[in-house]
Structure 1
Amino acid sequence: MLVAHDRVHAFGDDALGDHDAVALAALVRAGEVSPAELARAAAARAERLQATLNPVAFPAHREPWGAAGADPAAPLFGVPTYLKDNVDLRGLPTGQGSAAFRPRPAGRNSGFTDQFLSTGVTVLGKTRLPEFGLNASTEFAAADPVRNPWNPEHSPGASSGGAAVLVATGAVPLAHANDGGGSIRIPAACCGLVGLKPTRGRLVANDMSRKLPVDLITDGVLTRSVRDSAAFFAAAERYHRNPALPPLGLVEGPGTRRVRIGLVLDSPLAVTDPQTREAVRRTALRLESMGHQVSETTLPFDAAFADDFTLYWGYLAFLIALTGRLTVDRSFRADRLDGLTQGLRRTYLRGMLGTPGMLRRLARVKDSYAGLFQAHDVILSPVLAHVAPPIGHLNPNVPFEELKDRLERYVAFTPVNNIAGGPGIALPTGAAANDLPIGVHLSAAHGDERTLLELAFALEADQPWRRIQD
């Protein structure tokens, strides 16, 4: 493990080197390295990081999952990775980041897990998330937090914080993440990664999302390179393609089309900090220099949307508390849920009579979102309203009303895509004065991940992302 300027990473002279997933898969196909060698190197890197950054919930380093039974012709065959600890992998526990129950080994894979494995990856274990993915920082009421490798005194984002740490530090080139309010894009922004939240329905539905009246959860991956994100979605599409969406295929580089980009600097919900605002402006200028048309616009959402989202957020906590013994585990105890989950549950109980109206309004967000793309092809905005906060700022032990206010002032852009179901990508184009990454966010119309990936390729080629090991 190397530590420099408060950064922590695991890059070194082993089988992984500093290759991305596409490069590693090519080495495996050429016979220059084996999946077992890559798995051993990745496990060793992750184990060196665990004491400092705490990203792994349940390791399976001695018996990795996937390599022995995977199709050698799968595009990512042999690439080591991790699953987030809120999807089932047969034989490993699913802990959901919670101390409210005793996790037991899952008896089957979730539907998405099978799609994930179909790409050829080797799963080495499961990554930490905050309790049931409800927080925007991977912190716990009575356990050590997951820490940001660019500066361990700061948050890595959430709820896919453990996954982000393993990718940013070089332990693995990509890792599973999912996103119910920004949790692919938020840790990407905090940890200097690429994070694409796909259109709702692009991948096999998450087990939980099938049960929700408004399906806001989508799965994906966190990566260090745009081509790894593109390769994953192309590989996943070989297993399942939703006929209701345009096929994505393999996006291999920048597009030739010049697009209309709407620039959003502020959210109706929070004031964007100066460093984040500057990172978004600079990205807009770069896109203009490539020939794209950029004009300022605003989001058609206001504080009423925030109120509805918060009530729905509380509804999720209420469902967890109410049904946990049936849907999570028979050992589940609602009184052991953390302060954030309990506070969200109380928020819902106070406003539950407004549920029918809230659901009707959230269902209409899809149409308002689609209207954005009549005058624009893409919306450029911040991912977050401010730079990754220090550990403790979003801890679930913070008094609930204060914590809720902090979260709403931080996560002020990403939830719209979850409710509307549209795609969004976080790209690490900026850096704060304290060296922490700053991410920018690109959104597109439903089904148009291709445009987002093409723009991401162009930005990466124009100015490669910062490397934590430099």
Structure 2
Amino acid sequence: MKYSEYVQHDGLGLARLVAERQVSPADLLALARARLAEINPALNAVIHRMDTIADERAQAPVDGPFAGVPFLIKDLFQDYAGVASGYGNAALKRAGFKPAEHAEITRRFIASGVNIFGKTNTPEFGAKGVTEPEAFGITRNPWHSDHTPGGSSGGSAAAVAAGVVPMAGANDGGGSIRIPAACCGLFGLKPGRARVPGGPERSDLMHGAAVDHVLTRSVRDSAAMLDAIAGYEKGAIVRLHEPEAGYLTAIETPPAPLRIGVLDSSPLDIPLHTEALAALETTTELLESLGHTVERAAPAIDGLQLGRDFLSMWFVQMARQMDDVRARTGAAANEFELDTRAMAHVGRAFSATEYMDAFERWRGYRHALAEFHAEYDLLLTPTLANPPARIGEAATPKWQQIALRPLLRLPSARALIRSGIVEQIARENLKHVPFTQLANLTGVPAMSVPLHMTPQGLPLGSQFVGEPGSEALLLRLAAQLETAAPWFDRLPAVGGR
């Protein structure tokens, strides 16, 4: 098989060729590695190689829907026993931290038959919507190397978009599957809370706001992988019902005409880029041509307050993550990025009652979204407020870095909280991605679908938010959109073809 043939197949297509003995897992692995060698110097998508593990697996009998298909996992929470896990952090990198056991999501990836041969880049602790960690370097967008592939699953998105693998592991605590999908022209489904495992160490991470899945070029790969990884794990807080016939079977039937509410303004009251609105118009016209009803409507939610509450949880999570790394490695303060230290400093200043007040407001967001879904099947929004940012555009300005350093020496950030800093950070940090956090805090599934390209040749996705348990409906709609406006063969020119 030539690379030009390899890239024409999705994961299920490659697995079928393996099953029919038209190609071997070793052949596929060689093609994936050759493509990685071609593009990785420019993109920096993969930061850890797993060559011995992959070579051994390529020679072993393997079962599963994706048997023999090359695959990459994200270097954040998708731990592989005995393989370095850096999480975008200098201290873990310096210490050569290697987890003693697989994450449950990694076990299920392996059981699906994929051949994992590397780990992809991520911002430090997945804390940003771009992938520019100081410890591992910048990851770039295959469509235009001056722009970001998004984050925090930016390395996975870059590798899939560049044709290294048909799909790769990703996770999403505030948009980290949907944001890079939108930036790189991929399909990205964030499953609902507890749909897939997070254990053994991180079950119900961030109260269930964070969840694992994959970034894919085809909808059917996403559906088939969800069939493979979904399901109850020991110790999970809930046991969810799965579709009787499975997600892959579900997408064979298009959805009945849907009533879809569209939000065409930022929840933070910040003007949207004209291309974000253009992407929404492209999507709306396609939906209407397929018989769906699209109306301007949105849940009654204070978007700025939701942003504050999301960041309150996020800052506390950064503090816990830093404490965990210090306990494992004895890390010094300078082994964490300045922005991470600032987030953790603010997180430590929240009182328990303040944190619980924010968490209690999540119930209100769930109720408001449920009221919306009583009238509308889905919510449609832009995935991003702007086209993919330029590299470095989201970095903290030098003057702010200088101002932050003395504040981090203060024993507490209480004064910062009283000053309204959280609101300021919410507006600044979420202005480019104000739409994705809603699905995380409410625990519902959501997806980004790649239906628009800017005149500059950059992808820009549209987000759909469903009600609890609506993964099958989202996938069915995505498959219908994919058939009507195919994107699989739309590939960037990076590295040549």
Check whether TM > 0.5: yes
Q: Say whether the 8 Å CA contact 1:70–1:117 is kept in structure 2.
A: no
- Percent identity among equivalent residues? 34
CA apart distance, 1:467: 1.1
Flag structure 1 segments of 5+ consecutive residues without an equivalent: 1-10
Structure 2, unmatched stretches of 5+, are 402-420
Whether the aligned pair in 2 keeps the contact of 1:427 and 1:440 (CA below 8 Å) is yes
Work out whether residues 206 and 313 of structure 2, in 8 Å CA contact, stay in contact via their aligned partners in 1.
Answer: no
Is 1:190 aligned to residue 183 of structure 2? Answer: yes
Does 1:440 find its partner at 2:462?
A: yes
> Separation in 2 of the partners of 1:39 and 1:309?
40
| Structure 2: distance between partners of 1:238 and 1:208 | 17
The amino acid that maps onto 2:311 is: T
Give me the whole-angstrom Cα distance separating, in 1, the residues matched to 2:40 and 2:168: 16
Question: Does the C-alpha gap of structure 1 residues 356 and 312 become closer, same or farther in structure 2, counting only changes over 3 Å?
Answer: same
Q: Superposed, which structure 2 residues align to 1:92-111 within 5 Å?
A: 92-101=83-92, 102-111=95-104
> Aligned residue for 2:123?
130
Find the partner of 1:47 among 37, 41, 49: 37
Give the deviation of 1:71 after TM superposition.
Answer: 6.4
**1:456 maps to which of 462, 478, 493:** 478
Of 167-176 and 45-54, the range deviating more from structure 2: 45-54
Residue 276 of structure 1, CA deviation? 0.8
Deviation per CA, 1:428-468: give whole Å up to 9, x if none: 10111211100000111111111111111111111111612
- Mapped contact 1:139–1:396 kept (Cα < 8 A): no
Q: What one-letter code is carried by the residue in structure 2 that aligns with 1:388?
A: P
Change (3 A) 1:311 1:75: same
Aligned CA distance change for structure 1 residues 431 and 249 (closer, same or farther; 3 Å): closer
Q: Shift in Å at residue 255 of structure 1? A: 1.4
Alpha-carbon distance between aligned partners in 2 of 1:463 and 1:14, rounded to the nearest angstrom: 22
Further displaced range: 196-205 or 63-72: 63-72
Higher mean C-alpha displacement, 344-353 vs 450-459: 344-353
Shift in Å, 1:363: 4.2
Q: Give 1:405 deviation, angstroms.
A: 4.4
CA displacement at 1:397 relative to structure 2: 6.7
CA distance in 1, matches of 2:396, 2:50: 28
Which residue number in structure 1 is paired with residue 410 of structure 2?
none
Task: Return the offset for 1:177.
Answer: 0.3
| Paired position in structure 1 for 2:214 | 221
Work out the CA distance in 2 between the residues paired with 1:239 and 1:403.
36
TM-score if structure 1 supplies the norm length? Answer: 0.91
Tell whether 2:243 aligns with 1:266: no
Structure with a larger share of its residues in helix: 2
Aligned letter for 1:249?
A: Y
Paired position in structure 1 for 2:313: 312
Establish whether residue 82 from structure 1 lines up as the match of residue 44 from structure 2.
Answer: no
| Distance change in 2, residues 1:144/1:72 (3 Å) | closer
RMSD between aligned residues:
2.4
Q: Is residue 283 of structure 2 the alignment partner of residue 283 of structure 1?
A: yes
Deviation for aligned residue 1:245: 2.9
- Mapped to 1, the partners of 2:492 and 2:463 lie a distance apart of 24
Alignment of 1:5-404 (within 5 A): 13=3, 16-64=6-54, 67=57, 72-86=62-76, 87-101=78-92, 102-141=95-134, 143-207=136-200, 209-210=202-203, 212=205, 214-237=207-230, 243-247=239-243, 248-250=246-248, 251-269=250-268, 270-302=270-302, 303-326=304-327, 329-352=328-351, 354-395=354-395, 399=400
* TM-score, with structure 2 as normaliser: 0.86
Residues 56-111 of structure 1: CA distance to partner in whole angstroms, max 9, x if unpaired?
12011343178359764411101101010012101211100111332322221111
Match of 2:386, SS? coil
Q: Indicate how the Cα distance of structure 1 residues 173 and 345 shifts in structure 2: closer, same or farther if over 3 A, else same.
A: same
What is the identity, as a one-letter code, of the residue corresponding to 2:292? H
SS at match of 2:215: strand
CA distance in 1 between partners of 2:200 and 2:147 (Å): 31
